[in-house]
Structure 1
Amino acid sequence: MMTLTAPLVFADLLAQAKKLRETNAWKPFRPGVGAHWLYEDEDGAAAVLLHYEPGAQVALHEHVGYEQMLVLEGEQSDEAGSYPAGSFVINPPGTSHSPRSAAGCVALLIYEKAVRFP
């Protein structure tokens, strides 16, 4: 777990995400989904790059705090719709979904609090 004590800057995050996609710097998150944690705080606040392999899906989960997601590459979808690269989605507390990617994608997710899996 990495608690921030000073600003954390990622210059040209898009280029960094593209380079990361070609490496094995991803930790297993869910089957077919790798995670590269930018930070993770003790209270559940976090920022993470998620790399979905084609056809990967994350199980249904509930947002306890706000989740903000920016699709950097590819397309992600859930029960509410499809989100191509450049889409910014805010999932408020109390909402649930099961995100997936048919062709694969990379997305930046920022969590206010950790999500809850049933």
Structure 2
Amino acid sequence: MHSVLETPLIRELATGGWKCLDFGPFREGVTMHRLYGGDDGPSAAVLKYEPGARVPLHEHTGFEHVLVLDGSQSDDAGHYSVGTFTVNPPGTTHRVWSDEGCVVLLIWERPVRILEDA
């Protein structure tokens, strides 16, 4: 039995397969296609940021893994282009934005806690 995030799915997403997904509202300027999970507990999703979209300051309550699939994304610690994989450990905080727009695969252990309004 294979998990939802088996290697072929990651490879398909990384080579543009995300373009065939249905995206729904997440935050202003950011849409989401959930791969598994819900509002509480482990989840995975593909997020699409429109140019200039931002996610406000938030705290990670569990590990979050981010793979940039298209465009580029920035946070308080740096700028991440296609193929960049980052891990945000529990207890870390940051703001996220994309000047040019981007698509990212997110896998998180637990939901984030928003610390400020957008």
TM bin, normalised by shorter chain, reads: 0.7 to 0.9
- The match for 1:33 among 30, 35, 38 is 30
| Post-superposition CA distance 1:49-99 (Å, at most 9, x none) | 000000000111100000000000000001100000110010000001111
Q: Which residue in 1 is equivalent to 2:17?
A: 16
Q: Which residue in 2 is equivalent to 1:50?
A: 47
C-alpha separation in 2, matches of 1:37 and 1:108: 10
Q: Which segments of 5 or more consecutive residues in structure 2 lack a partner in the other structure?
A: none
| TM-score in terms of structure 1 length | 0.85
Identify if the C-alpha distance between structure 1 residues 27 and 64 changes in structure 2 by more than 3 Å, giving closer, same or farther: same
Identify if the C-alpha distance between structure 1 residues 40 and 103 changes in structure 2 by more than 3 Å, giving closer, same or farther: same
C-alpha separation in 2, matches of 1:37 and 1:82: 24
Question: What residue identity is the alignment partner of 1:7?
Answer: S
C-alpha separation in 2, matches of 1:86 and 1:12: 13
Q: Which one has the bigger strand percentage?
A: 2
Identify if the C-alpha distance between structure 1 residues 42 and 84 changes in structure 2 by more than 3 Å, giving closer, same or farther: closer
Identical amino acids, percent of aligned pairs: 50
- Counting matched residue pairs gives 110
Matched, 1:70 2:106: no
C-alpha separation in 1, matches of 2:78 and 2:57: 15
Q: Which segments of 5 or more consecutive residues in structure 1 lack a partner in the other structure?
A: none
Question: What residue identity is the alignment partner of 2:18?
Answer: A
Question: What residue identity is the alignment partner of 2:104?
Answer: A
CA RMSD of aligned residues (A): 1.8
